[in-house]
Amino acid sequence: MKYALAKFRVYLLGSRPFVFYTDHASLGTAIKSPHISQRTARWLSFFAEYNFQVEYKPGRLNVVADALSLRPDYAVHKADANAIGIARTSTPSSSLLDDVRSAYMNDADAKQLLDYFAAPADKSRQKLAKHLRARVHRYGVHNGLLLYSAVDDNANRIVVPNDHELKLRITYEYHDAPTSGHPGREKTYLILTRDFY
């Protein structure tokens, strides 16, 4: 409720009274309780800016909210390697991706994985280094790029070969280039780890 009020603040402040339907029954009693915590007091202070009324609506009757949260077109889909960078301010340039592809030949692990995916078989899998063999199911190849999918998500990340100059160039494109917006250290790290492994 607090998130929704903050999100639509510009539309709701100073507006005519509105009704907030929720399936959170204890919310109504928390507002009227004489003994409240400091956090609840801060929330009530925040809520006081708005002219609204809270009405309880059991979850089974709140069909509109269920329809919005369960829409099939909102389902999480597996990311396509070609879709990397769509609607983003920082995307790897094609020349950068070409440099990544060519740097794979100088990285022993990347070269082993690319050779394996060129002809995947049990025999070629046995040739992989032990640390690669254990996680080979997380790797894939698309358009000559080696991709890695982590345990906690299905997003494919481009594997960066062990090339110091290339890593500096990638960091430059995502941090210092005019199109990157010069984000801070943490945001740059998050952006880089979103696209690269």
Q: What is the pLDDT of residues 103-153, one digit of tens each?
A: 999 999 999 999 889 888 888 888 888 888 888 888 999 999 999 988 766
Tally of structural domains, the chain: 2
In this structure, are 51 and 97 located in the same domain? no
In this structure, are 61 and 136 located in the same domain? no
In this structure, are 131 and 96 located in the same domain? yes
pLDDT band for position 87 (cuts 50, 70, 90): very low
In this structure, are 68 and 137 located in the same domain? no
In this structure, are 31 and 105 located in the same domain? no
In this structure, are 40 and 62 located in the same domain? yes
SS (H, E, C) the chain: CHHHHHHCHHHHCCCCCEEEEECCHHHHHHHHCCCCCHHHHHHHHHHCCCCEEEEECCHHHCHHHHHHHCCHHHCCCCCCHHHCCCCCCCCCCHHHHHHHHHHHHHCHHHHHHHHHHHCCCHHHHHCCCHHHHCCHHHEEEECCEEEEECCCCCCEEECCCCCHHHHHHHHHHHHCCHHHCCCCHHHHHHHHHHHEC
In this structure, are 105 and 140 located in the same domain? yes
Q: What is the pLDDT of residues 13-54, one digit of tens each?
A: 887 888 877 777 776 676 677 788 888 888 888 888 888 888
pTM over 0.75: no
- Of 73, 101, 119, which residue is a domain's last? 73
Range of the domain at 180: 81-195
